[in-house]
Amino acid sequence: MDISYWGLFFSLLLLAFPLFIFWHLKLKLTKQLLISFGRMIAQLALIGIWLQILLDKNNIWLTLGWLLIMITNAVIILRNRMKSHKRILAPIFFIALAAASLIVMPWVLFVVIRPNPLFSADVVIPIYGMVLGNTMNSCALAMERFEGKLSDNWKAYYTLISLGASDWEAALPAFRQAMHISLLPRLLSIAAMGIVSLPGMMSGQILGGASALVAIKYQVMIMAAIFSSVTIADYLAIRLYLKWRFDQFYLPKEER
């Protein structure tokens, strides 16, 4: 069922409630709310036009080019989110996201869904958007936590290397904690799916007219793809960063 433009306008009127609460609490979020929603509408409108062109053309090279732009944007966003070591993090994030994508996406497309034609833009782009968006956020969180755990307790790292641990062995506790912090909330939200929350993809498909059974199948598939991609990218990003973070004597490299 389509939404009319008036309907869309009325949906935005719901924002009157948060705006009233912001005003009541003198919460300085009004400007940010207007900017955020303004940007979202403009970006979605532009991307909607562009996606329509991509879907109509359904050209493999055009689609691949767009996927490359998506991943490059994800890397730039990730790089800007990091507080330190930005120069080295850009290639690390690129490798981690690209490797996770190259493992998960061909499997989803060529083994699970098998659309006809195999590389149809209307399947590849929305699925990759969900996988990449989730992977990007998780990668940022995992990396922040890893660096945070190391920096908060250098004494632990130095003690372990002075007892004969390699950099890998000494950084492993921080690595484990970062992965745990990044993955546990996802597993909990997966466990709550269906009872507590109806996920976006499934809701969207049902609203778009698909049967509940098809929507459930897609949801299970996308959650498996996202969780796999997130875990691979987190692991690779931290592993590569760890390799760079310490010199040949396992001492931390200076900030540069």
Partner 1 sequence: MSELLKIRIDRLYYGERNLVENIDLTVNKGDKILLAGTTGSGKTSLLNSLNLMNQSYEGEIIFDGRAITGCPPQFLRSRILMVMQEPWLGEGIVEDILAEPFCFAAVRKRGMKKDDKMILELFDLFKLPQEHLKKKAEQLSGGEKQRIALIRALIMKPEILLLDEISSALDQGTSRIVADYLLKSYPGTIIAISHDPLWQAHWQIQWHIKDGIIHIIQGGE
Under rule CB under 8 A, residue 158 binds partner 1: yes
Angstrom distance (rounded) from CA 144 to CA 152: 12
Under rule CB under 8 A, residue 153 binds partner 1: yes
**How many C-beta atoms lie closer than 10 Å to residue 194's C-beta?**
12
Nearest residue (CB) to partner 1, 126 versus 252: 252
Q: What is the DSSP letter of 251?
A: P
Considering the complex, what minimum distance in angstroms separates the CB of residue 158 from partner 1? 7
Under rule CB under 8 A, residue 151 binds partner 1: no
Angstrom distance (rounded) from CA 74 to CA 80: 10
Q: Quick one: how far is CA 201 from the chain centroid?
A: 15
Q: Considering only CA atoms, which of 199, 256, 192, 194 is closest in space to residue 226?
A: 199
Nearest residue (CB) to partner 1, 117 versus 164: 164
Burial label, 170 (beta-carbon count in 10 A; 0-12, 13-18, 19+): buried
Considering the complex, what minimum distance in angstroms separates the CB of residue 144 from partner 1? 21
Q: Which of 59, 162, 189, 197 binds partner 1 (CB under 8 A)?
A: 162
Under rule CB under 8 A, residue 175 binds partner 1: no
Under rule CB under 8 A, residue 165 binds partner 1: yes
Q: Which of 209, 248, 254, 256 binds partner 1 (CB under 8 A)?
A: 248
Helix, strand and coil in the chain, % to nearest 5: 80, 0, 20
Under rule CB under 8 A, residue 152 binds partner 1: no
Token reading at 97: 């996201």
Under rule CB under 8 A, residue 95 binds partner 1: no
Nearest residue (CB) to partner 1, 43 versus 162: 162
Considering the complex, what minimum distance in angstroms separates the CB of residue 29 from partner 1? 39
Q: Considering only CA atoms, which of 130, 7, 79 is closest in space to residue 241?
A: 79
**Which residues make up the interface to partner 1 (CB under 8 A)?**
153, 155-156, 158-159, 161-166, 169, 248-251
